[in-house]
């Protein structure tokens, strides 16, 4: 090992010794395969961590990715490292002091579960390339058989990344009653054409290796070691981000590793990859690689929007979906496809795109655990609870939704405007104060949108459903009139495209509640007219003209005129003097510093109109 | 051919017939190679297009990329398509009615120029794998020999993309006197570690193909056709953007092409790639591929910032650098590295990142010609001229820099504030009105920064140097005090981070000229105080509170107070009433709608101070 080996990757800590903690379930009932044929018997190698509770309600199934196995974590300090020690263990995000973790080697793998290296009962020789094609669905069938074998009726959660995430998607949509929560990490409804293309090249490198036939039942040859190493080298490139590769190999690009290989002795990055490729050949079976990569390539949870929504609508669990910003193999927009389909199907989901430099490997590494690990832990913690958790962790910095001081005058006002039993979308929900309050208020469906990762973590820790979203990208995932109320609390003045945002809110909400600072507040008028300074709203903090996050200035009158022009009906207005902590009745456009409006589309049939509020200006 | 073949790519229109217009230069002087050894003779196959002018001053050298050749364009309607028909031909961006185009096949290639398939004079058999390693520098040496042979002393320009761009970089920095302009497209100072890694995998697929030895001098075998096809398939993935692949193959991912191949018959994208791979094998030599890909991998114009600046500082031409937004193989930040080094070396350069969905292939395709082709044509048109072109094409939409109406009161005022002979940076230069005016004014160095692609095209068409830049990313490429003056004309109010932007301007400019609309203009005061509406500056256009591009509101007084706080010295202020077309002397913070300030860092030693202008508010 040279210093270069310290470069972290999903494959850098793998063991070669036999694993001490593996158990094997012999499941004798035949398994019919989705693409035809059957396996007359099934062996599933698995490891467990922690203790199953007497109520049998703390089991978490971890589904591994293409090159993983049952050894998700070290069992004790003397044990081999696991592939997910970063997340799994006593006191960690997936806390084996409290949870009972089960990690099976997947069907088609090569670490003890039935796969190409297993004996074909008909010939008593290894299946090799004649092993039947399996699907992600078949892998999940094997998981379910193992759960039956272990007497686990219902999982606390299923967790997996990449191909492991595909298994979670399949399990949750096919066996909704068997899990309370699903955590889908760095995954997708199907591979991109680009990811599929890389697999085609890698698979061809193996299948067209002249030594491939040797693993196909013949003895004595080396097997397709070149093809498998090439496939692994190629795969490895796709698991890393460009930034991570440049940081690691950019400076000394012509400095080859001391550990040179037959594949490469010139470039640093080449010798690293070649080392990874050659190491992989020692521990992995080429036919398993072909089998698993084909299963991944064939996976498609739903080829159309509608089918994806129907499929995910069949789930009965809560969802946590996490993507990594620099993951270009399973890019974030694919996680958003899953999330959008869940939202359309009105299933409870939280989503975060974790800012990461680690690429697809992000879900395996420690770098982003402050957000990513906290999301997983927070989600698992709250799965057992019914109601959102009231105690919000302290916020890091002031946020628009908190701008009205500790009394939260606007939050209480907004809650008072919403009927119990309503469904509510909170656009720019911050750490979820309003959502938590609406839960107590009896609102049935509560969805938050938020752009700040740390606020999303706090929402998830409180058991709230929040989706990472940039408001400028609209609310396209929601249907017309899907929510009884859409709330935009103290965010309008920071919106780039006001018309588009309000139009979208009015489309998806039967009513909208909008609050904003009033630019025509008396103090602001004096600031401009008498002092000659541009007024700045300071309720958010001590902002100046050059650092305020507010990019738009509007008065109550401006907003009312806008509503008239745009055909928006104003149902109700509340003018507040938040400094005095009171509602303003007289000349609100002069005396109120904040206004709360309830609006709806003019063509909407019911609800009272209202005379303009800012009559006296 | 099925319908699938219509998918455009760099490889979709290639010919297999012998080319009718190729000429071969036999250059008998030995060529010493950079990595050792020599070629005792050199053959260069090339094609020409158009007529060399009597002054011999209209020659353009086109350098092809890894799989290209001398046939850059069809010579007549009956000719085979060229690889760059999109850009090269009569009346096209590289206009063969006016320019004399020379396109040589590169050293190490396999279309007539000396390469691995050429006979080794020592053995009279093809070099094969024993062909010596060549560099981009060697390719350029061959180009220079060809130019000597053709009697071309000085090129109008050298043009190339990808590996062709590497040749342009090498040529312009090594033989500065031989070209007036350099156009570097979709290229880089060196490959990213990721791009290098793909090459390592592709090269290994060839070198470890058991049939590789057959091309190594042995006869009769098929050669490394599998390895070469795999390398080409992999390369092809990297030439396309993810979006382009999804558009093409996403909908019918499981529909294989009718034209199935031994490599793939299941997935649409796979059979497309396999077809490309197999087609490539028919026309390309595996040893040429290895030779050229290694030359590209070894290319490094300057491994450090300093070396890159020194290297590019040796050039004597004007530069046009173009990148494509979806190109992930030669990402835009690498073109910016070239541009930044040129700027640091004070060489004249224009740069544009063309918004494109086509990936690395963008430079070969027609999709983005409205910007990309216009840039190339505009740059070539102005290369022969000394002074910037006065006639600006009409602008498409109002821009902040044009906001003061046809009289351009602020432009004339700003020009009057700048000494002839100064160097000037115009931050947010629009279509270059001020830059063109400053050229007439006698300013020696003029650099514009602009975010809008179409404005950049217009600047280049006028012969102005403009760099595509987002102001929020700062002026890091410029040195302390590099410019006599930095201008920010009517852009401050649209800046996100005012403090950082002004600090950077004050760092790189010995003086800064800043103009902005005055929020405390009397009419605005009345609008707020008397009408109760938030005032909106409308000099840019009929904007409202909800659609104005101005995100900050400031008065003359606000700006003066800001300068005091930040330790900025105000040298001069001009207050304008642009409606009345006059300078305001009395109570400017009330009577001026626009202010122009000349500022500098307070610690800067010379220059007069000035009493605050807005004394009466």
Token readout for B138 is: 């060697």
Mutate to test the interface with A, among B35, B193, B303, B575 (most CBs of A within 10 A): B193
In A, residues 321-360, which contact B (CB 8 Å cutoff)? 328, 331
Say if residues B570 and B610 touch (Cβ distance below 8 Å).
yes
Cα B369 to Cα B87: distance, rounded to the nearest angstrom: 8
**Residues A285, A327, A426, A537: which is the catalytic one?**
A327
Active site residue B470: no
Cα B148 to Cα A373: distance, rounded to the nearest angstrom: 65
What pLDDT is recorded for position A215? Answer: 62
Q: Per-residue DSSP letters for B70-123? A: S--S-SSTTSPPPTTTTTEETTSSEETTT-EEEEEPPTT-SSSSSSTTSEETTT
State the pLDDT confidence band at A401, using cuts at 50, 70 and 90: very low
A280 vs A612, residue with greater confidence: A280
What pLDDT is recorded for position B5? Answer: 36
Residue ranges of E strands in B457-496:
466-468, 483-489
Report the chain B residue with the minimal C-alpha distance to residue A494.
B551
Report the chain B residue with the minimal C-alpha distance to residue A229.
B201
What pLDDT is recorded for position A10? Answer: 42
- pLDDT of residue A391 exceeding 80, the answer is no
Residue B263 at interface with chain A, using a CB cutoff of 8 Å: yes
| Residues from chain B contacting residue A617 (CB–CB below 8 Å) | 530-532
CA atoms within 13 A on the CB side of B72: 31
B19 vs A570, residue with greater confidence: A570
In B, residues 173-202, which contact A (CB 8 Å cutoff)? 190, 192-194, 196-198, 200-201
Cα A63 to Cα A288: distance, rounded to the nearest angstrom: 16
**Secondary structure of residue A282 in the 3-state scheme:** helix
| Cross-strand pairs, B155 | B179
Token readout for A445 is: 């469906």
| Residues from chain B contacting residue A588 (CB–CB below 8 Å) | none
Cβ-count burial B556-570 (b if 16+ within 10 Å, e if not) = bbbbbbbbeebebbb
Report the chain A residue with the minimal C-alpha distance to residue B209.
A209
Closest CA to A87 of A365, A412, A320: A365
Per residue in A511-542, pLDDT tens? 999 999 999 999 999 999 999 999 998 877 88
**Residues B71, B166, B360, B468: which is the catalytic one?**
B360
Cα B589 to Cα A535: distance, rounded to the nearest angstrom: 15
Report the chain B residue with the minimal C-alpha distance to residue A239.
B194
Query: Are the Cβ atoms of B532 and A555 closer than 8 angstroms?
Result: yes
Closest CA to A501 of A427, A402, A426: A427
Residue B244 at interface with chain A, using a CB cutoff of 8 Å: no
Say if residues B182 and B380 touch (Cβ distance below 8 Å).
no
What pLDDT is recorded for position B272? Answer: 85
Closest CA to A281 of A225, A352, A204: A225
Least confident of A18-22, B96-100, B125-129, B605-609: B605-609
Cα A359 to Cα B35: distance, rounded to the nearest angstrom: 36
DSSP A108: T
State the pLDDT confidence band at B552, using cuts at 50, 70 and 90: very high
Per residue in A438-467, pLDDT tens? 999 999 999 999 999 999 999 999 999 999
What pLDDT is recorded for position A616? Answer: 44
Q: How many C-beta atoms lie closer than 10 Å to residue B394's C-beta?
A: 6
Per residue in A244-258, pLDDT tens? 998 888 766 666 555
Active site residue B53: no
Query: Are the Cβ atoms of B273 and A193 closer than 8 angstroms?
Result: no
Q: How many C-beta atoms lie closer than 10 Å to residue A111's C-beta?
A: 22
Q: How many C-beta atoms lie closer than 10 Å to residue A164's C-beta?
A: 29
Say if residues A183 and A89 touch (Cβ distance below 8 Å).
no
Query: Are the Cβ atoms of B196 and A554 closer than 8 angstroms?
Result: no
In B, residues 363-422, which contact A (CB 8 Å cutoff)? none
- pLDDT of residue A14 exceeding 60, the answer is no
Query: Are the Cβ atoms of B533 and A198 closer than 8 angstroms?
Result: no
How far CA A184 is from CA of A311, A459, B76, B252, in Å, comes to 15, 18, 57, 26
Per residue in A90-135, pLDDT tens? 999 999 999 999 999 999 999 999 999 999 999 999 999 999 999 9
Average pLDDT over chain B reads 88
Say if residues B96 and B88 touch (Cβ distance below 8 Å).
yes
pTM of the predicted protein model: 0.92
State the pLDDT confidence band at A386, using cuts at 50, 70 and 90: low
B217 vs A469, residue with greater confidence: A469
DSSP B272: H
Tokens 């960690």 belong to residue: A92
**Secondary structure of residue B190 in the 3-state scheme:** strand
What pLDDT is recorded for position A251? Answer: 63
Token readout for A512 is: 């909208």
How big is the A-B interface in CB pairs under 8 Å? 224
Report the chain A residue with the minimal C-alpha distance to residue B546.
A498
Q: Per-residue DSSP letters for A371-393? A: THHHHHHHHHHHHT-SSPP--PP
Report the chain A residue with the minimal C-alpha distance to residue B615.
A532
Least confident of A336-345, B24-33, B367-376, B602-611: B602-611
What pLDDT is recorded for position A268? Answer: 84
Say if residues B280 and B232 touch (Cβ distance below 8 Å).
yes
What pLDDT is recorded for position B254? Answer: 67
Rounded to a whole number of angstroms, the distance from the CA of B194 to the nearest CA of chain A is 6
In A, residues 535-574, which contact B (CB 8 Å cutoff)? 535, 544-548, 551-558, 561-562
Say if residues B422 and B485 touch (Cβ distance below 8 Å).
yes
Query: Are the Cβ atoms of A201 and B234 closer than 8 angstroms?
Result: yes
Residue B225 at interface with chain A, using a CB cutoff of 8 Å: no
Say if residues B487 and B424 touch (Cβ distance below 8 Å).
yes
Cα B7 to Cα B3: distance, rounded to the nearest angstrom: 8
Say if residues A379 and A320 touch (Cβ distance below 8 Å).
yes
Residue A35 at interface with chain B, using a CB cutoff of 8 Å: no
Residue B297 at interface with chain A, using a CB cutoff of 8 Å: yes
DSSP-based helix, strand, coil % in chain A, nearest 5: 35, 20, 45
| A230 Cβ neighbours under 8 A, 6+ residues apart | A202, A205, A206, A277, B201, B204, B205, B208, B230
Average pLDDT over chain A reads 88
Cα A402 to Cα B406: distance, rounded to the nearest angstrom: 47
Least confident of A161-165, B274-278, B332-336, B439-443: B274-278
- pLDDT of residue A395 exceeding 60, the answer is no
Active site residue A587: no
What pLDDT is recorded for position B268? Answer: 84
- pLDDT of residue B506 exceeding 90, the answer is yes
State the pLDDT confidence band at B399, using cuts at 50, 70 and 90: very low
Residue B572 has phi, psi (to 5 degrees) of: -160, 150
């Amino acid at each position: 090992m040279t210093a270069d080996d310290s470069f972290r990757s999903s494959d850098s800590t793998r063991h070669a010794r036999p694993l001490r903690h593996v158990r094997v379930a012999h499941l004798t009932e035949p398994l019919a395969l989705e693409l035809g044929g059957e396996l007359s018997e099934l062996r599933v190698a698995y490891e467990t961590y922690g203790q199953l509770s007497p109520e049998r309600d703390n089991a978490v199934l971890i589904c591994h990715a293409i090159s993983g196995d049952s050894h998700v974590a070290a069992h004790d300090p003397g044990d081999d490292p696991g592939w997910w020690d970063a997340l799994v263990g006593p006191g960690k995000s997936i806390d084996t002091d409290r949870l009972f973790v089960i990690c099976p080697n997947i069907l088609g793998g090569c670490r003890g579960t039935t796969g190409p290296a297993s004996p074909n009962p008909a010939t008593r020789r290894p299946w090799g390339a004649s092993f039947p094609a399996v699907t992600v669905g078949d892998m999940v069938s094997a998981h379910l058989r193992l759960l039956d074998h272990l007497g686990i009726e219902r999982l606390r959660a299923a967790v997996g990344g990449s191909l492991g995430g595909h298994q979670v998607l399949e399990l949750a949509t096919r066996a909704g009653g068997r899990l309370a929560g699903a955590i889908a990490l760095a995954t997708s409804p199907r591979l991109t054409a680009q990811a599929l293309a890389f697999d085609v090249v890698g698979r061809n490198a193996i299948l067209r290796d002249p030594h491939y036939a040797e693993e196909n039942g013949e003895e004595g040859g080396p097997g397709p070691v070149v093809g498998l190493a090439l496939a692994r080298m190629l795969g490895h490139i796709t698991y890393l981000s460009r930034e991570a590769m440049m940081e690691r190999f950019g400076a000394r690009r012509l400095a080859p590793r001391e550990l040179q290989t037959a594949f490469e002795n010139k470039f640093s990055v080449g010798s690293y990859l070649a080392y990874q490729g050659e190491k992989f050949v020692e521990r992995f079976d080429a036919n398993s690689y072909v089998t698993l990569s084909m299963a991944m390539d064939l996976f498609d949870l739903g080829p159309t929007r509608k089918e994806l929504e129907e499929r995910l609508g069949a789930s009965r669990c809560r969802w946590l979906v996490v993507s990594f910003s620099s993951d270009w193999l399973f890019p974030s927009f694919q996680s958003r496809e899953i999330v959008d389909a869940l939202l359309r199907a009105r299933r409870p989901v939280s989503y975060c795109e974790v800012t990461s430099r680690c690429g697809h490997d992000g879900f395996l590494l420690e770098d982003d655990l402050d957000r990513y690990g906290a999301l997983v832990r927070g989600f698992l913690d709250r799965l057992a609870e019914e109601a959102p958790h009231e105690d919000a962790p302290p916020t890091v910095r002031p946020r628009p939704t908190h701008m009205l001081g500790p009394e939260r005058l606007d939050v209480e006002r907004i809650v008072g405007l919403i009927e119990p039993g309503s469904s509510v979308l909170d656009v720019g929900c911050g750490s979820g104060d309003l959502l938590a309050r609406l839960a107590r208020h009896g609102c049935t469906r509560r969805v938050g949108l938020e752009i700040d990762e740390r606020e999303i973590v706090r929402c998830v820790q409180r058991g709230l459903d929040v989706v990472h979203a940039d408001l400028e990208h609209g609310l396209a995932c929601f249907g017309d009139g899907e929510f009884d109320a859409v709330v935009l609390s103290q965010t309008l003045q920071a919106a780039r495209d006001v018309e588009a945002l309000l139009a979208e809110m009015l489309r998806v909400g039967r009513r909208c509640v909008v609050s904003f600072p009033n630019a025509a507040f008396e103090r602001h008028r004096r600031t401009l007219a008498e002092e000659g300074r541009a007024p700045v709203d300071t309720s958010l903090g001590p902002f100046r003209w050059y650092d305020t996050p507010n990019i738009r200035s509007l008065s109550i009158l401006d907003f009312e005129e806008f509503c008239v022009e745009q055909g928006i009906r104003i149902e109700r207005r509340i003018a507040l003097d938040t400094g005095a902590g009171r509602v303003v009745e007289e000349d609100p456009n002069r005396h109120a510093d904040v206004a709360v409006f309830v609006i709806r589309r003019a063509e909407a049939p019911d609800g009272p109109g209202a005379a303009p509020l800012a009559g006296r200006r």
